């Protein structure tokens, strides 16, 4: 019966999708795992026990309807994790909740952000200011004040809001118009028009009956303005869209808030204050936007296309485009996404215009109306393609990148040229679509996003060979770990023994899909974090990983902010110094791991918020929810000169585990010894071992043999590689 020696030098493929089970030909198969639960894959190839989590704060029951973690980096020394629930914002700094916000006595700041908005808020930050947007929320500006507990949030007051005609109508007024110049800032003067003044015979919210002796020619006043001089609507004007010379009824738009009354004084004029932001189009050429109302017959405007000359344009040779209004408002909705890029503040999409992007003037972040079409002017463009592209996120990278439900776009720029009103355009790279509510993340090589249906993780990166952006699926070999992911966060590596951690909270089962990524080495190694509860959100404050977890204690759902850390060996843990018991615990009815002075004690069940230790802690203790490590290698498949042995029965005869700083480990159910009995002080911490641990006499033949690594004791564990001897039968 032949025997073979095999070695798995690393686990850098991470957990492999069961659909790839037959692909023994793949190079990744030899470095893969069939299961990787509660471990983190290291870039050197090994894996270690995942970090435990420390209790930070408990959230109110409103967190059941929505919660959102948002990082806020004030400066190099001060950074925060903000936690939003219904109309509240909590502040965490360095793992400690900030209380008494603004001297209110409350540990939270009151906001206008409701539970229903939290799943789709988008934010961006510069210095001490964060801008938060959501389509049903006027853009908010959040500012940290002079201290950790000083915070204000308010609605942005814009210098100017871009205009759009949601009900565009074009009229040909019965008047002549003369431009003062062919281009630039000009004056437009109306003349030779038919006017009317008097007192209304009557009115509705959408019509005004002029005096009985008003002009009897149908439509003669169309395109003019009826301006009220007295009455409930005094000082306001409406555009005349139709006129019946027989009945004297002028149809007006938009509707009045309150209908004028019979007897109210009016006048019909070419221009009114409401003419601002309307457009004048002339023949044979010329287009201008009205900027300022001067008088009934005169306005100031800026040309968007020069006039042919300064001669008067008679009736029929010019038109007016009407009913432009603020593109963002309570009625039309607010911006959906936001980012800063090259000196501009960009808003992407809104409830009424989901595929449009607006950029502010350079350095004037709240001014969005273009005036002179110079390079530093405000910009605007719409993603006009053959399908609906609702903008769900934007990011400032090598270029301005735009992610929509229908595809991925970018604004092409040369290496030195900025975006200008004349150069703003979009290029399509792929048609995968991005899932709303899941913020895109910037890796060392490109930008990562969750596909629209949550079925894959894609990377959007620039190809120097193709000189364009391409999209590649980085979750191809591990798509089974994605179970309707809703939130995504990235923790960048801080040392050589860790990779970037890309984490996604799964809505289906509350697990975390965790990808250890080092793209420069082509490493993408996924694993799965599970806990006694459900991960609802995950975010990173520089290097600290925070989560919001839903846990059920004594039949009641409760919500906690927790901080991951390798110094913790349990979940939702409480730590302290010298003590013989722990009180104030929320884990009612749960059996907790107890660690005193680095030594695991017997589990204790929480009663009335308290537990008593078997042995008192003299220096430190940790109590928290237990979690287990479970790792299983891919079925061992030997490749020899005569072919593979996929269908042959096999038995693992011996396993050699290469470990580093490890205190506890089980191989195929066999616990490995880590404590020497020549040490009389058995209540001291288990020593950390680095080297090779061996298991002999593993029994049983089967066609699918694997090595199972497990750990149920809250101690350190790092496995670098495995060597095993395999016996193979001569036939099936």
Full-model pTM: 0.90
Residue 702 is predicted with a pLDDT of 77
629 has pLDDT over 50:
yes
- Please state, in angstroms and rounded to a whole number, the distance separating the CA atoms of residues 80 and 541: 6
Lowest mean pLDDT: which of 242-251, 366-375, 385-394, 626-635?
A: 366-375
The token pair that represents 181 in the structure block? 């110049």
More confident: 126 or 550: 550
Question: Hey, what are 449's tokens?
Answer: 């996003």
User: CB–CB of 82/72 below 8 Å?
Assistant: yes
Distance CA(102)–CA(110), nearest Å, equals 11
Residue for token digits 């850390």? 565
Q: Which range is least confidently modeled, 134-143, 184-193, 428-437, 631-640?
A: 631-640
Structure tokens at 610: 């308290």
How sure is the predictor about 454, in pLDDT bands with cuts at 50, 70 and 90?
Answer: very high
Return the H-helix or E-strand segment holding 265: strand 265-269
Q: Report whether 516 contacts 499 (CB < 8 A).
A: yes
Answer yes or no: is pLDDT of 464 > 80.
no
SS (H, E, C) 107-122: CEEECCCCHHHHCCCE
Among 624, 651, 625, smallest CA distance to 636 is for 651
* Of residues 280, 322, 300, 335, the one with CA closest to residue 162: 335
The whole-number average pLDDT for the span 93-104 is 96
Query: In percent, how much of the chain has pLDDT > 70?
Result: 96
What is the chain's percent helix, strand, coil content, to nearest 5? 5, 50, 45
For residue 62 the two structure tokens come to 């409103």
From its phi and psi, is residue 657 left (phi > 0), alpha (psi between -120 and 50) or beta? beta
| Range in 15-29, 143-157, 430-444, 666-680 with the lowest mean pLDDT | 666-680
Band of pLDDT at residue 680, cut at 50, 70 and 90: very low
Region 125-130: mean pLDDT is 90
pLDDT in tens, 74-83: 888 899 999 9
pLDDT interval class at 730 (50, 70, 90): low
Q: Running DSSP on this structure, what letter comes out for residue 351? A: S
Helix (H/G/I), strand (E/B), else coil: 275: helix
User: In this predicted model, which residue has the larger pLDDT, 334 or 643?
Assistant: 334
What are the backbone dihedrals phi and psi of residue 269, each rounded to the nearest 5 degrees, phi first?
-135, 160
Amino acid 731: pLDDT:
56
Closest Cα partner for 446 from 512, 534, 524, 387?
Answer: 524
| pLDDT of 32 higher than 50 | yes
Helix residue spans in 663-729 (DSSP H): none
pLDDT band at 417 (very low <50, low <70, confident <90, very high): confident
Q: Please give the mean pLDDT across all residues of the chain.
A: 92
The answer to whether the beta carbons of residues 379 and 387 sit under 8 Å apart is no
Span 505-543, pLDDT tens digits: 999 999 999 999 887 777 889 999 999 999 999 999 999
Q: pLDDT per residue over 169-191, tens digit each?
A: 999 999 999 999 999 899 999 99
CA gap 21, 636 in Å, rounded: 11
DSSP state for residue 61 in the 8-state scheme: G
* CA distance readout (Å), 447 to 69, 390, 467, 479, 500: 20, 19, 16, 18, 13
3-class secondary-structure state, position 168: coil
Measured in whole angstroms, the distance separating CA 517 from the mean position of its chain's CA atoms is 20
- pLDDT of residue 104 exceeding 90: yes
């Amino acid at each position: 019966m032949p025997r073979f020696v095999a070695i798995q030098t690393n686990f850098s493929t991470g957990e492999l999708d069961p659909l790839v089970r037959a692909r023994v030909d793949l190079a990744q198969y030899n470095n893969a795992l069939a299961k990787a639960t509660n471990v983190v894959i290291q870039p050197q190839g090994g894996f270690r026990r995942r970090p435990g989590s420390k209790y930070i704060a408990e959230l109110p029951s409103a967190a059941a309807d929505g919660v959102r973690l948002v990082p806020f980096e004030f400066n190099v020394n001060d950074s925060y994790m903000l936690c939003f629930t219904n109309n509240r914002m909590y502040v965490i700094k360095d793992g400690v909740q900030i209380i008494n916000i603004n001297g209110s006595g409350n540990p939270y700041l009151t906001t206008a952000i409701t539970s229903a908005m939290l799943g789709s808020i988008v934010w961006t930050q510069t210095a001490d200011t964060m801008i938060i947007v959501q389509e049903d929320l006027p853009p908010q500006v959040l500012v940290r004040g002079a201290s950790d507990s000083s915070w204000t949030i308010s609605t942005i007051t814009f210098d100017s809001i871009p205009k759009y005609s949601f009900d565009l109508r074009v009229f040909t007024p019965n008047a002549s118009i003369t431009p003062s110049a062919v281009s630039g800032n000009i004056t437009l003067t109306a003349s030779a028009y038919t006017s009317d003044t008097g007192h209304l015979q009557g009115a509705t919210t959408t019509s005004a009956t002029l005096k009985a002796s008003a002009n009897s020619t149908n439509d003669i006043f169309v395109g003019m303005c009826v301006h009220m001089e007295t009455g409930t609507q005094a000082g306001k004007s409406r555009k005349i869209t139709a006129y019946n010379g027989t009945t004297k009824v002028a149809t007006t738009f938009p509707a009045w808030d309150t209908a004028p009354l019979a007897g109210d004084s009016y006048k019909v004029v070419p221009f009114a204050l409401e003419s601002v932001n309307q457009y004048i189009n002339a023949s044979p050429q010329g287009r201008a936007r009205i900027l300022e109302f001067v008088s009934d017959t005169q306005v100031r405007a800026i040309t968007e296309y020069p006039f042919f000359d300064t001669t008067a344009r008679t009736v029929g040779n010019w038109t007016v485009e009407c009913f432009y209004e603020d593109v963002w408002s309570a009625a039309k909705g607010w911006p959906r996404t936001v980012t800063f890029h090259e000196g501009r503040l960009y808003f992407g999409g809104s409830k009424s215009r989901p595929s449009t992007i607006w950029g502010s003037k350079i350095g004037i972040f709240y001014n969005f109306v273009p005036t002179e079409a110079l390079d530093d002017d405000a910009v605007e463009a719409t993603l006009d393609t053959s399908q609906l592209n609702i903008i769900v996120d934007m990011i400032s990278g090598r270029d301005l990148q735009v992610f929509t439900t229908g595809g991925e776009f970018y604004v092409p720029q040369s290496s030195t040229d900025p975006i200008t009103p004349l150069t703003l355009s979009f290029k399509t790279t792929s048609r995968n679509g991005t899932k709303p509510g899941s913020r895109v993340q910037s890796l060392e090589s490109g930008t990562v996003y969750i596909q629209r249906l949550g079925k894959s993780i894609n990377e959007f990166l620039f190809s120097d060979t193709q000189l364009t952006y391409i999209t590649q699926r980085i979750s191809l070999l591990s798509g089974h770990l994605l179970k309707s992911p809703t939130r995504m966060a990235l923790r960048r590596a801080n040392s050589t023994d860790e990779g970037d951690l890309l984490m996604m909270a799964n809505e289906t089962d509350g697990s975390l899909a965790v990808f250890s990524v080092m793209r420069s080495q082509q490493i993408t190694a996924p694993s799965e974090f599970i806990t006694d509860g459900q991960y609802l959100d995950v975010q990173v404050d520089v290097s600290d990983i925070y989560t919001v977890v839903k846990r059920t204690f004594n039949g009641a759902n409760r919500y906690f902010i927790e901080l991951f850390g390798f110094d913790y060996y349990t979940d939702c843990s409480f730590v302290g110094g010298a003590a013989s018991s722990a009180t104030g615990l929320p884990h009612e009815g749960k059996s907790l791991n107890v660690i005193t002075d680095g030594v695991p004690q017997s589990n204790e069940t929480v009663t009335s918020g308290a537990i008593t230790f078997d042995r008192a802690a003299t220096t430190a203790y940790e109590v928290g929810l237990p979690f287990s490590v479970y790792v299983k290698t891919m079925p061992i498949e030997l490749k020899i000169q005569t072919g593979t042995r996929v269908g042959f029965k096999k038995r693992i005869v011996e396993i050699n585990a290469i470990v580093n700083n490890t205190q506890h480990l089980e191989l195929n159910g066999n616990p490995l010894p880590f404590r020497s009995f020549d040490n009389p002080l058995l209540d001291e911490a288990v020593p950390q071992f680095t080297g090779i641990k061996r298991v002999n006499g593993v029994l049983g033949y089967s066609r699918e043999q694997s090595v199972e690594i497990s750990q149920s004791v809250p101690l350190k564990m790092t496995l670098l590689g495995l060597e095993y001897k395999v016996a193979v039968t001569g036939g099936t």
